[in-house]
Structure 1
Amino acid sequence: MSKLVAALPMYDWPEVRGDVDAQWVRLRDAFRQKGIDAPEAMVRSNRDLPPVPGGIRDGAGKLIAPDPATLPPDEFDFHQLWLSPALLFGQTCWGPMELGLARHVQVIAQPSYDEFEGGQGELYSSALVMLADGGPSVLSPDDGKAVIPLDLIRGKRFTFNNPDSMSGLLGLTRDLEAIGEGLDIFASRSESGGHRSSIVAIAEGRADIAAIDCQSWALAQRFEPAARQVKVVGWTARRKGLPFITARTTSPDVIASMREAIAELGLEGSVAKQPVVERVG
């Protein structure tokens, strides 16, 4: 039995859990064909993570996360997953990567977003959504540049999924800065806890606008009833999507084999060689 762990938590909505499991089976079998000891199933809670007595430490011995065994077992702390020394394969966001995670993990590849409006290869963008008013939604621009309707969003209540989210907060912040504006354009800012929750907040009148990454927006249009009450009013600029990662201790040979397997499955937008970290701002 493998002592390693894997997870694909970023788009693991209950309605598509079977599809996410099937994606892992494809990856697992492809990895095993390369001689990699891939785990049978993915982890989806803190209880599934192997204990690390004394807590998780970096290469210098500094404590960077508590022992997963000390956390609420039914919850799932993504940072614990990402920092686990047993992580063979996972997915994260470039927001946490820029804010320090990149020091502790290695990037394997960037998945493709070609099938989603707002995506192109390894790049994705976020839909700016507001309450529907009967008018049409704004289509994603072909050039991938930001479409920010300043007059429409000025003075509105902005909600975002998490403070370290590139798609929900950091990307929009940078697009506003590029045109001489900032988050103070909004009357208020609140944290919803997730893209789906942001959409529900807008539909229920608790917020006015949110930035929803294009894959989450596609899922919402299929499975979240509240999405029928909102529309797209703009888009953030395209940026690198959510990278596949592994522990900092994973060997170069294993990483090379995983990259080969991902490329053979056609799941990648690009196969990483060195992580490229955009500035934090």
Structure 2
Amino acid sequence: MYDWSEMRDEIDAQWARLRDAFRQKGIDAPQTIARVNADLRPVEGGIRDAAGKVIAPDPATLPPDELDFHGLWLHPALLFAQTCWGPMEIGLSEHVQVIGQPNYDAFEGGQGELYSSAIVMRADGAPSARSPDDGSPLVPLDLLRGMRFTFNNSDSMSGLVGLTRDLEAMGESLDMFSERSESGGHRASIVAIAEGRADVAAIDCLSWALAQRFEPAARQVKVVGWTRRRKGLPFITARTTPEKIVAAMREAVAAAG
């Protein structure tokens, strides 16, 4: 889920360590990870659920150089992937098993398996807001009201669902924004704010850390608040993955930290 182009070598190295740990436990882990639809095995007639209903198209029928995340997550041959609790809550959890959670201690806004999103707006010279130590939400309603809100996608916990729930707990809703638009990604949301096409977005703390390393537009954006800490993006496998393999992967992921 954090496979930015600048991170490819790091992601590949992370997978190599996990792959080798899996193989030591007798798991037939692939040499490399799938990044595009062409990397996925064809599923004639489409991907089906346990009842035989088609729930995703055959990857071979999709643009080969793109990646349909839902098709990846639902693929019957899925060994290991990362998803978001947004899709999990709206049906994905019925088709997969959770292997574990990443650790977010290294990032402001993270604590163990919990993470929060930085609420960002265009920089104005004032200092950025620090993440509350107790993980409580810090949502500056007066700053946000009437602003143009952009989010990565409609089922994202970090970019939309989490902030929506925090606003509802404060007696507010997304209606407080003058506009809402879907950017297609956290990085795209940051660029939209820097370029003046949007005013505010919620960016998960790891993506915000990556943006500060790799995205020049992040220098024109600052943090004005934080969402409540919630469970981070889980690692998953197919529902049909045998229990013995699931247990072995859980051990390997836990050992990897």
Could you say which TM-score interval applies, normalised by the shorter chain? over 0.9
1:162 to partner: Cα distance? 0.2
User: TM-score normalised to the size of structure 2?
Assistant: 0.99
For 1:265, the equivalent position in structure 2 comes to: 256
Match status 1:240 vs 2:219:
no
Greater than 2 Å deviation, 4+ residue runs: none
* Residue correspondence of structure 1 range 96-111 to structure 2 within 5 A: 96-111=87-102
Match status 1:195 vs 2:186:
yes
1:50-106 deviations in whole A, cap 9, x for unaligned?
Answer: 000011000111110111100010111100100000100000000000011011111
For 1:171, the equivalent position in structure 2 comes to: 162
1:11 to partner: Cα distance? 0.2
1:264 to partner: Cα distance? 1.4
* Residue correspondence of structure 1 range 77-96 to structure 2 within 5 A: 77-96=68-87
* Alpha-carbon distance in structure 1 between the residues aligned to 2:128 and 2:10: 28
Match status 1:20 vs 2:11:
yes
For 1:270, the equivalent position in structure 2 comes to: none
1:141-174 deviations in whole A, cap 9, x for unaligned?
Answer: 0000000000000000000000000000000000
* Alpha-carbon distance in structure 1 between the residues aligned to 2:102 and 2:61: 33
RMSD (CA atoms) = 0.4
Match status 1:255 vs 2:218:
no
Kept in 1: contact 2:38–2:64 (CA 8 A):
yes
For 2:221, the equivalent position in structure 1 comes to: 230
* Alpha-carbon distance in structure 1 between the residues aligned to 2:132 and 2:111: 11
1:263 to partner: Cα distance? 1.4
Match status 1:136 vs 2:145:
no
1:140 to partner: Cα distance? 0.4
For 1:182, the equivalent position in structure 2 comes to: 173
How many percent of aligned residue pairs carry the same amino acid?
A: 78
Match status 1:60 vs 2:64:
no
* Alpha-carbon distance in structure 2 between the residues aligned to 1:11 and 1:220: 11
* Residue correspondence of structure 1 range 2-21 to structure 2 within 5 A: 10-21=1-12
1:200-231 deviations in whole A, cap 9, x for unaligned?
Answer: 00000000000000000000000000000000
For 1:216, the equivalent position in structure 2 comes to: 207
* Alpha-carbon distance in structure 2 between the residues aligned to 1:264 and 1:99: 30
What is the letter of the counterpart of residue 225 of structure 1?
A: P
SS at match of 1:87: coil
1:177 to partner: Cα distance? 0.2
Q: Tell me, which stretches of 5 or more residues in structure 2 are unaligned?
A: none
Q: Tell me, which stretches of 5 or more residues in structure 1 are unaligned?
A: 1-9, 267-281
* Alpha-carbon distance in structure 2 between the residues aligned to 1:161 and 1:11: 13
SS at match of 1:88: coil
* Alpha-carbon distance in structure 2 between the residues aligned to 1:151 and 1:263: 42
* Alpha-carbon distance in structure 1 between the residues aligned to 2:114 and 2:256: 19
* Residue correspondence of structure 1 range 151-166 to structure 2 within 5 A: 151-166=142-157
SS at match of 1:233: strand
What is the letter of the counterpart of residue 81 of structure 1?
A: L
Equivalenced residues, count: 257
* Alpha-carbon distance in structure 2 between the residues aligned to 1:81 and 1:97: 14
